[in-house]
Amino acid sequence: MSIRKQTGFTLIEVLIAVVIFGVGLLTVASLQIVARQANYDAVQRTTATHLAQGMLERMRANRPALGTYTGGGERVLGGESLGGDDGSCRTRATPCDAATMALADLGEWEQLLDGSYEVADGAGVGGLVAPTACIRGGGGTGAYAVAIAWRSANEQTVAPADNCGAGNAAYGASGEFRRVVTVRTFINAL
């Protein structure tokens, strides 16, 4: 009886190795897609938080017009509902009163929210996807909140606690793509 030494690979061994390698590559590719979606959602959340903080700081800087910012209870913005800030109140030659400054702040902030200041191929690209903002408060000393809703790339299973943007068709049939960030603060009207 002679014993043969094995040399080289058989075709079956090569095919099994290729299948295992292919499954590994598909797993890495799907992981990459999930990571990109999560990263995109994180950028949207960071942008929303930054914008909410910015509006609260504008309100703190213009305390006599707190009621103008909130519309006396809740002001809902998004989709250029106010139009843009014409800049007429931002020069020393044409100063404006507190209420006019508040309206100018709201117009400029809404353009930031909608991404109107960063344009590519004629479309705003710097803001959030389908944003809705809700500015809440009484107009005097007290608690204020800025909630911002936007469309996410991923479905969620639990609805956000804040109702800002609820019922907007841009967030899916049952709001499954709606994400909300709410920033709360206390402002002393002085």
Look at 175 and 94; give whichever has higher pLDDT: 175
- Kindly report the average pLDDT of the chain as a whole number: 86
Q: At what angle do helices 98-114 and 11-61 cross, to 10 degrees?
A: 170
With cut-offs at 50, 70 and 90, classify the pLDDT of residue 158: confident
Question: 72-91, pLDDT tens digit by residue?
Answer: 889 999 876 665 555 566 67
Query: Do 60 and 103 meet the contact criterion of CB atoms below 8 Å apart?
Result: no
With cut-offs at 50, 70 and 90, classify the pLDDT of residue 71: confident
pLDDT given for residue 135 in this prediction: 95
Does residue 125 have a pLDDT over 80? no
Does residue 59 have a pLDDT over 90? yes
Is the whole-model pTM more than 0.75?
Answer: yes
